[in-house]
Structure 1
Amino acid sequence: MSPQQKALILPKRRGAFEVGSRKIPSPRAGQLLVKIESAALNPADYKIKDTGMIVTNYPAVLGTDIAGIVEEVGEGVQNFRKGDRVSDNSFIRLAHGKYNNDFTAFQQYTLTVASFTAKIPPNESCDSAATVPLGLDTALVGLYGKQNGAGITPPWTKSAGSHESKRPIVILGGSSSVGSYAIQLASLSGFYPIITTASPRNEELVRDYGATHFLDRNLSGKQLLAAIRKVTDGPIKVVYDVISLPETQSVAWDLLANNGTLVLTQSASVKEDEGKGRKVIVTFGNPHNPQNEQLCCNSWARVEKWLSEGTIQPNKYEVLPNGLEGIVGGLERIKSGEVSGTKLVAHPQETQ
């Protein structure tokens, strides 16, 4: 194996991507070196490029969703060996404003942390597995995180039972990656009804994920509120607004019952009101953050089984051409709103 690899590099803050080379890192204790077969794209990737947020050290390599083959195993790693296919989330230290190039996706080889790495079952490909990590972790922390989420009892705990059974939940943006996993986790937790919004062309998709009721995302705020009230008159204690624009937050806030929780993926534009006890949580899917670590360790231990049994379905995906170079155009498509209900995936090994 050559000590050098190809990588999609952001040379400076708000710069332009270019394909270059960098050294292949070596795994330390508790880490794996993975040959990346598939890397999925996320909106955060173009936002980092355009705004300079999160990343402080340049040149930088971006990307968070990884699937590939284990090349080397660090000391103390028990559950993987060279040649294993793996699915991994390497969204490293995002909450702390740090981004470690040795743990990112837009390159041919990367390090992963064994605790947040799962084997890919035979029924899934590297492409489908690459759509899982960030979306699933963000949905999971938003629902079950005690500090960074709604604090719902995780479905794998003994005390979960049917605690959420017959309790409604609203998920705004159900065809997005995070939304799709939020729907599936809500179903796993026993919520009913599971009400979601999406564009009409994605109605069948969100129903396949487990949504019991679909509403057109193009409805006005008043129309959406009225439609949801027709579905359930029960108090809505959890609303997960994956879109998190000011207009969707306003609707979500109006839906939320007293002492309920609104989960967002972007900064809040609504203000908490102490009188009704409603609260707003801005979540993020970083399993390496100490507040999320135990929760995500428990979930990642189940990812292989969830995928194998179909409990969690990966996102629909489209493979981009031209390896790492194809990522640039893919991010532009995401930015311009051309991608819906589908995850874009690149093959770094196909880079010329």
Structure 2
Amino acid sequence: MSHKAAVLTKVGAPLEDVTVPTPKLGEDEVLVEVQYICLSPLDIWRSKQGLLTETPKILGGAFSGRVAALGPKVVDRHDLAVGVAVSCFSGHLGIGAHQQYVVVPWWCLSKLEEKADLAAASTINDNLVTAVWSLTHGGIRLPLFDFRAGDRLKPILVWGGSSSVGQNALQLLKLQGYERVYTTSSQRHVARMKSLGAFDVIDYNSADASTLLMAATDGKGFEAVLDCIGDVDASLQPSLRLVRPGGIVAAMLPYVRRTGGAGAGAGSQAVFMDVAEIPLKVPEGVTLIGVRTHQYHHDEEYKLTVQPEMVPRFAFSGMPYRLVGQKDSKTSLAERLNEALETLNAGVSGERIVVAVP
């Protein structure tokens, strides 16, 4: 059996349609027919700058679709069956989503309701996995799923609340009862940020944004800051200034230092995969943690819980999205993905780019 994939054959070049062999199923694996692919900034950094990429490569790591076949140890387990709708984050395993069929371990999948919006569902898993990991073990270490532990009144800042991870982080913090969660976004996203759980929203374009945020903590600084933007000058530096001594800043890698441009890859002068490499000084008493979501599955509890259980339990509806390529379109998968990558690189805010698989 074989299928179509959109393959990066050379860094900086457009993706190409290639026929590839469909992998054989392992005992604990599932074959999924991909229906929607959700892009992320990492797709830009990899395709245009070659970050963590050797060619030829099938990119992508977030998708939704329907189960096409089950390995023998998955049959009658985990509520999965042929035809069931699922969403998935597979990027941490190096399994590319830019193809018509994907084979993944069962624990990478989230079972969806039959009538779920699969395009919206494709935006959920990578965001939620990253938000959970960033807020807990892999980042600012909140006792997120233990109502008996922690101070729900501690001031927490999510820098970049309208980002894909930021929106999920706000919902998780609200769900767990945190009451003093602040965030930054542009003015047009304020109402949505508050609906997701932000106590207050500060426009990051404001000249006195940092002053207003510090005033919200009575000048003491935030207990923890989650930086969802990944820009050395625009988000990390102010995050470090706003955290109190003894506090934590969780910085989602990779980080960029830009020369200009709004897109995920536009004007990037340098890309950092380790916070120790970033040329800035961390204030004394502040802990700076580089969040690597791609390592979350090394924790057995998180691996077996986040995607199989948390996504269905929280029933997040996904992010607003812009769909590229209708089902009846004659464009190929590579053509659709190339259009989507250019759209993402030009800059989007408050929404994700989703591609319908032909």
TM-score category (smaller protein) = 0.7 to 0.9
Contact kept in structure 2, 1:116 and 1:287, CA below 8 Å: no
- Which residue does the alignment assign to 1:40? 38
1:117-174 per-position Cα deviation (integer Å, ceiling 9, x unaligned) = 11012463111110011111111111112xx31121131x4xx326231111111111
The aligned amino acid for 1:299 is V
Q: Single out whichever of 319-328 and 167-176 deviates more from structure 2.
A: 319-328
1:16-62 per-position Cα deviation (integer Å, ceiling 9, x unaligned) = 31112111222202110000011101110011011112122x32111
Asked whether 1:213 is paired with 2:200, we answer: yes
Asked whether 1:51 is paired with 2:44, we answer: no
CA offset at residue 323 of structure 1? 5.5
Cα distance in structure 1, aligned partners of 2:210 and 2:66: 47
Structure-1-length-normalised TM-score:
0.86
Structure-2-length-normalised TM-score:
0.85
Query: Which of 60, 81, 84 is matched with 2:57 structurally?
Result: 60
The aligned amino acid for 2:17 is V
Cα distance in structure 2, aligned partners of 1:123 and 1:284: 33
Cα distance in structure 2, aligned partners of 1:208 and 1:121: 24
- Which residue does the alignment assign to 1:328? 338
Find the residue that maps to 1:260 and give its secondary structure: strand
Give the 5 Å matches for 1:178-189: 178-189=165-176
Cα distance in structure 2, aligned partners of 1:181 and 1:293: 22
Cα distance in structure 2, aligned partners of 1:295 and 1:8: 30
Query: Which of 314, 317, 320 is matched with 1:306 structurally?
Result: 314
Cα distance in structure 2, aligned partners of 1:19 and 1:249: 38
Find the residue that maps to 2:206 and give its secondary structure: coil
Give the 5 Å matches for 1:65-76: 65-76=62-73
Asked whether 1:114 is paired with 2:122, we answer: no
Contact kept in structure 2, 1:72 and 1:82, CA below 8 Å: yes
- Which residue does the alignment assign to 2:354? 345
Give the 5 Å matches for 1:97-176: 99=94, 103-122=95-114, 124-145=116-137, 148-155=138-145, 157=146, 160-161=147-148, 163-176=150-163
For structure 1, which runs of at least 5 residues remain unmatched after alignment?
A: 94-98
The aligned amino acid for 2:292 is F
The aligned amino acid for 1:87 is S
Contact kept in structure 2, 1:164 and 1:190, CA below 8 Å: no
Find the residue that maps to 1:135 and give its secondary structure: helix
Cα distance in structure 2, aligned partners of 1:306 and 1:323: 35
- Which residue does the alignment assign to 2:301? 294
- Which residue does the alignment assign to 1:199? 186
Contact kept in structure 2, 1:171 and 1:179, CA below 8 Å: yes
Cα distance in structure 2, aligned partners of 1:297 and 1:239: 27
Give the 5 Å matches for 1:15-30: 15-30=13-28
Find the residue that maps to 1:251 and give its secondary structure: helix
Q: Single out whichever of 326-335 and 249-258 deviates more from structure 2.
A: 326-335
Alpha carbons of 1:45 and 1:296: their partners in 2 closer, same or farther (altered >3 Å)?
Answer: same
Cα distance in structure 1, aligned partners of 2:296 and 2:72: 19
For structure 2, which runs of at least 5 residues remain unmatched after alignment?
A: 256-271, 326-330
Identity of aligned residues (%): 24
Find the residue that maps to 1:219 and give its secondary structure: coil
Give the 5 Å matches for 1:252-271: 252-265=239-252, 266=255, 267=272, 268=275, 269=278, 270-271=280-281
Contact kept in structure 2, 1:183 and 1:209, CA below 8 Å: yes
CA offset at residue 287 of structure 1? 5.6
CA offset at residue 289 of structure 1? 4.1
Contact kept in structure 2, 1:164 and 1:189, CA below 8 Å: no
Cα distance in structure 2, aligned partners of 1:178 and 1:237: 19
Cα distance in structure 1, aligned partners of 2:341 and 2:152: 39
- Which residue does the alignment assign to 2:217? 232
The aligned amino acid for 2:21 is K
Alpha carbons of 1:69 and 1:287: their partners in 2 closer, same or farther (altered >3 Å)?
Answer: farther
